[in-house]
Structure 1
């Protein structure tokens, strides 16, 4: 797959898109001043190939562009891959059109979504020849499996201006989360050292290992159960004997007798329930006790009332007797003074200011009081009799309460015995449950079953060993290193040709799969790229690594897009914020020329199988360089030339 054209469509629907065309199978150079949009070309191509989260700048592209379209070729077949400008962080919409070698960039009014990102990746992967398989990480790895597709292959085709000068990372987006590991996982496949067969065997090995662990657990558990079955059965017989389920158990037990005793213990299932008579008796006694306590309280209240009456009567009659005795003692009421005048004092015969009552009045009053006293004395025996009757009944009620309490206490003791019986029943039920479990296990696990589990484990172990041997025979690591050695055979002379640091004394310059970086092998030891100074060397080693890698991929017809996009490979030779490299006279133009000559020669070496696209500030005067130019984004006729046309930025 190579690129034929890139088109940008204005958001207002203008019929004429901005089109940048590429030459397949050759060196393509886009030169120009800074801030003309050269670096965005790589990001747009990456986006059109199905990247979900593009890194496109906000201005001026986001203000003007509504659609992006990429025209690619697969020999006699062409495809248009178009995507609308991303809304927010990403977009999944896309348009795909397929045709013969006459297919070209569509018109603006033809753009309409008819696919999505997954469709782009699927169709590109199929046309590239990427086999449909899911990469399975090694057993025990924490990462998840994934489908191998154009998403991983495209990582080998781009080098933006920050990546090409990175001394710690060699590949596109390598430093992003998960991308470095994905490169390590898939580079052996893209090199031809591994394929779907190895991935399938690794997946089957993971399944087989899980089955082996499960079979081992079942076999170990069955073995433990069989080894302890006799001891557990004997213990259960003794336990059943203690709980009363068995009697007359011999001191020596064999296996048949043990099984028979366990069956007997399981069949003996006594039940203990409280009878309805006991429940009714408790309810009757409780109601009787409540009635007796109410009667006892009533009798106590009646006795208290009689006691108060008795006390009040005794106080009243006692006072009457006292007063009558006093009057009689003084002789004031005697018969010897019947004519005594009420106005004369009987003691001193003096005239009274207030006359005393007459003797007749006093006598009448005294007689009335004597009658009341006699009546009160006749009521007293009746009251005493009523009191004795109440006391007798109270004693009877008290005795009934005592008998009632004794009966309830007996029932409570009976409840305690019932609770003990219920607890014993629970213990017996627990023992019988253990016996039933043991008998069921004994019935389900026979000698034949144990043999079957052993045979199953043996078969799975043999399968694991076979798969492991096949994976070991594949020896993906050794095959990958052998192919990287072939790539190193190209890298080493090219690094020496560019006169890169330490290349002259290196026995070999190669790509390290474990480090995903360039490593030099010297007589004194290995030297990684991050220990070599100068951005010139970092860029140079990136160039030779990717050129050698793609040359190997093309020679072996591997399923990777046949283009390499490089952004600013000569940045190390110019000031950091250069506007136009063509105006810098004191740059190391000889070295810059050597870099581009290597790009030219590698493109010619691949004889049309590899397309190299370079976006750079440099503009060499050599005829071959000028022939390789696809555009020069420097002012022409007083007009600024860039990715976004000037009239697109005009508000009018």
Structure 2
């Protein structure tokens, strides 16, 4: 798998093409002309949905991105539209396959697939075998299939990585990616395949089944040991809640429990809450009528007391006035005589007449009061009889209310008893369902022996697997070339063997006494040498042994480590003259490109190395490797006269 060409399309249907060839491809020029975006476009068109194209003119002016990949006997166009405004990803894809594919016109671009389809297609064409990652049985990670996405770690050495002492592979510093590299690289190198995973998957399943079976065996044994004691307890509970169980001599306690399953709840009548309410209402009405009769009696009794007092006063007044009739009288004339009055006034004076009239009035009032007493006494008696009658009715209603409440409580108790019995019957049913028999225990023990035999067989077959030794041999083959590339690039400790440490994902120099890890070494030039040595050796092994890695590597700005400063490196700007004026270590720059040129023409003939740079050399072979004239402003990847895309 190599890159034939890269294409971008403007919103007004124009197209910009960048053609690549086998061997060394160099794109040089000024900064901010789009060189570093090439790797992002290539990755975007290999099935990655995240849109990582740098902000600026590329995002603002490009509507579609496309890459044509070359395989043996087939070419594949992968084109993707730019995500909509505000979107950070896109999985819409156009796929076009043919023996030879040319870039389509703008009006031919149409979505017909998605990133999942791209990943499946490219993985198949690349020849990644059916596989699943080799995850240890005790690990919590899930296994998955290695695919084209897992080759990206080895295809891009971006500006921030190419000389990074702490990070060897692309995306190695992202969450979970380190372990993914460790899981998938052995598959891509042909070391680990599906057979081992299949055996480990079966072993994992058998161990899980054995653990489950062991629990069932333990439960069955405990159930058999404790079944009689539990059955006796349940039988006692059943009788306590009123479940009728007929005790028969010689009958096993478990068989007695089965009688409980025949229990049916008693019919429970509905509570008569309305009747209680009616009685309470009637009782309240009678009590109110009795209180009214008692108030009438109290009023009548108060009236009687007041009448008695009035009668007493009348009698007293009458007695005083009656005394006038006891006045002395003249025996000679027979007339009454007032004391101290002229003789013979009698009773005909106005005063006497008034007093006698008052006396007559008092006599009449006394007669009236005395005459009303029998009627008042009769009224009081009638009211007292009503109170007695109402009190008797109250006692009757209270008895009726008490009976109604007691009836409802009995109904509630009956329902509770049914519920309690139902719970006990449920527990008995569960006990009988889970009751382990000797036959069930024997079946479980037989299954346990079978699973142990299966596990022993799988472990034996896995023990014969030689993937670990094959991985060691593969890494040794890769290490065989690493030392020579480090020496060619003048890396530190070049006199000692170097190797790829798959456990730590770094380069190790095996210096006698104490190994030197890349992250403990010094100097950007040495870090660059270690990076390129590891990647070139890895791809050389894959090419030599036809392993499924794409046959290209994109390296972004590797010679920056040979310039005195970043500004000096950028000042080179793709110009030969400026490169020679920047006080750079041109010998090291030339040595680097000579190694890359030799690699693509001799070590791995036809391997595609794509290098984006600021430096430019006069050498004919270097100039022949240039993909285009050095990019300036303009021209660059995106022409200035392309229109900006609408924001919505």
TM-score computed with the length of structure 1 as normaliser: 0.84
The aligned counterpart of 1:626 is 623
Alpha-carbon spacing, 1:404–1:521, altered in 2? closer, same or farther (3 Å): same
The aligned counterpart of 2:59 is 62
The aligned counterpart of 1:82 is 79
1:304 to 298, 309, 318: 298
CA shift, 1:537, in A, is 0.4
3-state SS of the aligned residue for 1:522? coil
TM-score computed with the length of structure 2 as normaliser: 0.84
- Asked if structure 2 preserves the Cα contact closer than 8 Å seen for 1:32 and 1:616, the reply is yes
The aligned counterpart of 1:152 is 150
- Asked if structure 1 preserves the Cα contact closer than 8 Å seen for 2:203 and 2:458, the reply is yes
Unpaired runs of at least 5, structure 1: none
1:222 to 196, 220, 223: 220
Cα distance per residue 1:413-442 (max 9 Å; x no partner): 787777666655554444333333323433
CA shift, 1:608, in A, is 2.7
The aligned counterpart of 1:525 is 514
Alpha-carbon spacing, 1:572–1:411, altered in 2? closer, same or farther (3 Å): closer
The aligned counterpart of 2:40 is 43
The aligned counterpart of 1:554 is 543
Cα distance per residue 1:139-170 (max 9 Å; x no partner): 45454554422111132111112111111111
3-state SS of the aligned residue for 1:69? strand
1:431 to 398, 417, 424: 424
Q: 5 Å matches for 1:384-399?
A: 384=377, 386-388=379-381, 390-391=383-384, 394-395=387-388, 398=391
Alpha-carbon spacing, 1:519–1:431, altered in 2? closer, same or farther (3 Å): same
Q: 5 Å matches for 1:85-104?
A: 85-87=82-84, 88-101=87-100, 103-104=101-102
1:453 to 439, 444, 450: 444
3-state SS of the aligned residue for 2:566? coil
Q: What CA distance in whole angstroms lies between the structure 1 residues aligned with 2:102 and 2:268? A: 94
Q: What CA distance in whole angstroms lies between the structure 1 residues aligned with 2:221 and 2:359? A: 119
- Asked if structure 2 preserves the Cα contact closer than 8 Å seen for 1:333 and 1:363, the reply is no
Q: What CA distance in whole angstroms lies between the structure 1 residues aligned with 2:215 and 2:504? A: 40
Alpha-carbon spacing, 1:521–1:425, altered in 2? closer, same or farther (3 Å): same
- Provide the aligned C-alpha RMSD in A: 4.0
Q: What CA distance in whole angstroms lies between the structure 2 residues aligned with 1:188 and 1:120? A: 23
Q: What CA distance in whole angstroms lies between the structure 2 residues aligned with 1:270 and 1:35? A: 87
Cα distance per residue 1:344-382 (max 9 Å; x no partner): 9863449x9xx9636456545534532442343344345
CA shift, 1:231, in A, is 1.0
- Asked if structure 2 preserves the Cα contact closer than 8 Å seen for 1:198 and 1:474, the reply is yes
Q: What CA distance in whole angstroms lies between the structure 2 residues aligned with 1:447 and 1:209? A: 25
- Asked if structure 2 preserves the Cα contact closer than 8 Å seen for 1:241 and 1:249, the reply is no
2:505 to 492, 496, 516: 516
The aligned counterpart of 1:236 is 234
CA shift, 1:517, in A, is 1.4
Cα distance per residue 1:298-348 (max 9 Å; x no partner): 44233223312322321232222112211222447787699989xx98634
3-state SS of the aligned residue for 1:62? helix
Unpaired runs of at least 5, structure 2: 573-577
Instruction: Indicate yes or no: 2:26 matched with 1:29.
Output: yes
The aligned counterpart of 2:120 is 122
- Asked if structure 2 preserves the Cα contact closer than 8 Å seen for 1:554 and 1:609, the reply is no
CA shift, 1:546, in A, is 0.7
1:19 to 8, 17, 33: 17
The aligned counterpart of 1:7 is 7
3-state SS of the aligned residue for 1:630? coil
Alpha-carbon spacing, 1:357–1:460, altered in 2? closer, same or farther (3 Å): farther
Q: What CA distance in whole angstroms lies between the structure 1 residues aligned with 2:81 and 2:270? A: 86
| Residues 316-325 or 613-622, more deviating | 613-622
CA shift, 1:244, in A, is 5.7
- Asked if structure 1 preserves the Cα contact closer than 8 Å seen for 2:245 and 2:260, the reply is no
- Asked if structure 1 preserves the Cα contact closer than 8 Å seen for 2:329 and 2:335, the reply is no
The aligned counterpart of 1:293 is 287
3-state SS of the aligned residue for 1:598? helix
Cα distance per residue 1:109-166 (max 9 Å; x no partner): 4433333323322221111112345547444545455442211113211111211111
3-state SS of the aligned residue for 1:515? coil
Q: What CA distance in whole angstroms lies between the structure 1 residues aligned with 2:277 and 2:72? A: 103
Q: What CA distance in whole angstroms lies between the structure 1 residues aligned with 2:299 and 2:153? A: 112
2:49 to 45, 49, 52: 52
| Residues 469-478 or 330-339, more deviating | 330-339
3-state SS of the aligned residue for 1:620? coil
Cα distance per residue 1:66-94 (max 9 Å; x no partner): 33332322133222233334444232233
3-state SS of the aligned residue for 1:525? coil
1:576 to 545, 566, 574: 566
Matched positions, count: 632
Q: What CA distance in whole angstroms lies between the structure 2 residues aligned with 1:280 and 1:10? A: 85
Alpha-carbon spacing, 1:349–1:525, altered in 2? closer, same or farther (3 Å): farther
Cα distance per residue 1:239-277 (max 9 Å; x no partner): 345556569979xx97x431343245555668485799x
The aligned counterpart of 1:489 is 480
Alpha-carbon spacing, 1:368–1:199, altered in 2? closer, same or farther (3 Å): same
Cα distance per residue 1:188-244 (max 9 Å; x no partner): 100111123334444444444444444444443333323221110122233345556
3-state SS of the aligned residue for 2:94? strand
Alpha-carbon spacing, 1:89–1:326, altered in 2? closer, same or farther (3 Å): same
Q: What CA distance in whole angstroms lies between the structure 2 residues aligned with 1:288 and 1:20? A: 103
